[in-house]
Amino acid sequence: MSKVKAFAAQEVGALLKPFEIERRAVHENDVLIDIEYCGVCHSDLHFVRNDWGMSEYPLVPGHEIIGRVVQVGEKVKDFKVGEKVGVGCMVDSCRECSSCEEGLEQYCERGSTFTYNGPDKYLGGMTFGGYSQKIVVDKDFVLHVPEHLDSKAAAPLLCAGITTYSPLRYWNVKKGDKVGVIGLGGLGHMGVKFASAMGAEVVMITSSPSKTKDAEDLGADHVLISTDEGQMASHANTFDFLMNTIPVGHDVNPYVSLLKRDATMVIVGAVEPVDPVHCGQLIFQRKSIAGSLIGGIKETQEMLDFCGEHNIVCDVEIIDMQDINTAYERMLKSDVKYRFVIDTKSLEREN
């Protein structure tokens, strides 16, 4: 075991402060990673504030981790010291259930082990995330990150990236499909990049006309202003797929009206209840509303390889660890393009 510097919330809603954590010794299947960058996900803030009623404190957030391998266990053949690697939302799962056998560890029937605030199988207590200097992770949950991708901009691929990539693949989005991405934030901006790289006709659907140019710069072919009833009506029943990244409860019915017959809107943002759904809309064109959670390890690697091939990274703003509380406040106001990423070298500072 070794002690490393981290930032933690000590109780519900508390500001994050310096905190020393223990990392386990490197077992035979483990990889010790020197964390270089960690993305700041909306769910970090939900956990800090216990919005979902499952937080345990002290809580060290962070599940968009990029770093370098500094040590490997004796059975680890696939990772070399010095290699650039990533860790996402999970560090383990049961590995036996049908979901795990199908490579869908995120849907592990016994519950996958989340990178933070999950029961720690080695040390007891809860796992601590990437707002720290080092992490030890089983090799089966470590990802190879293409060397030529900018590390700091690649960090959010581990959550925001796979969350948007996976449903595009699962619902078989293909060249020429008309795909709508609802909401332009950390998830939405990656949804636009991926759907565009897959050859889809991409429409950014946003309530903010001021985001038009940004959306186009990201690769959107059109921008649809959701508060403009005329524009919405002109796109009714025309979308092959919708990805809804709005992070809070809202009225989904105007978006459902945009779907073609037999098409699906997948919700990846709002864990909360959404407003009453008008079933007539679903029935009269056999439409679907679905959910999707990150992606499995195999698919996360596929996504990173896809990013390597297409030179896709996230648009990020780098902060020091000490700026995290301010960053949360700005995030709540959507004042970030489009993801904060912590430079964890800042943890070496004394204050």
Q: Tell me whether residue 81 or residue 233 sits nearer to a copy of itself (CB atom).
A: 233
* Choice from 59, 215, 289, 303 touching a copy of itself (CB under 8 A): 289
Which residues are paired to 266 by β-bridges?
Answer: 243, 290
Q: How many CB atoms lie within 10 A of CB 249?
A: 13
Q: 306 is written with which tokens?
A: 């896809």
Q: What gap in Å lies between CA 113 and CA 118, rounded to an integer? A: 5
Phi/psi at 153 (nearest 5 deg)?
-85, -15
Q: Is the peptide bond before 338 cis (omega within 30 degrees of 0)?
A: yes
Of 41-49, 114-122, 271-279, 312-320: span binding a copy of itself (CB under 8 A)? 271-279
Any contact of residue 333 with a copy of itself (CB under 8 A)? no
What residues from 231 to 270 belong to the interface with a copy of itself (CB under 8 A)?
Answer: 237, 249, 261, 264, 267-268, 270
Any contact of residue 281 with a copy of itself (CB under 8 A)? yes
Of 133-141, 145-153, 185-193, 285-293: span binding a copy of itself (CB under 8 A)? 285-293
Any contact of residue 119 with a copy of itself (CB under 8 A)? no
Q: Tell me whether residue 134 or residue 178 sits nearer to a copy of itself (CB atom).
A: 178
Any contact of residue 124 with a copy of itself (CB under 8 A)? no
Q: Is 103 left (phi over 0), alpha (psi -120 to 50) or beta?
A: left
Q: Which residues contact 287 (CB under 8 A, 6 or more apart)?
A: 256, 259, 261, 262, 263, 264, 265, 281
Q: State the helix-helix crossing angle for 160-170 and 297-310, rounded to 10 degrees.
A: 100
| Least distance (Å) between residue 286 CB and a copy of itself | 5
Query: What would the DSSP string read from start to end of 92-136?
Result: E--S-SHHHHTT-GGG-TT--EESSSSB-TTTSSB---SSBSEEE
| Least distance (Å) between residue 173 CB and a copy of itself | 16
* Choice from 124, 176, 230, 276 touching a copy of itself (CB under 8 A): 276
Of 147-155, 192-200, 288-296, 321-329: span binding a copy of itself (CB under 8 A)? 288-296
Closest CA to 87 of 140, 20, 29: 140
Phi/psi at 312 (nearest 5 deg)?
-105, 125
Q: Is the peptide bond before 58 cis (omega within 30 degrees of 0)?
A: yes
* Choice from 17, 49, 68, 278 touching a copy of itself (CB under 8 A): 278
Q: Tell me whether residue 32 or residue 258 sits nearer to a copy of itself (CB atom).
A: 258
| Least distance (Å) between residue 259 CB and a copy of itself | 11
Which chain residues interact with a copy of itself by CB under 8 A?
A: 99, 104, 107, 109, 170, 237, 249, 261, 264, 267-268, 270-293
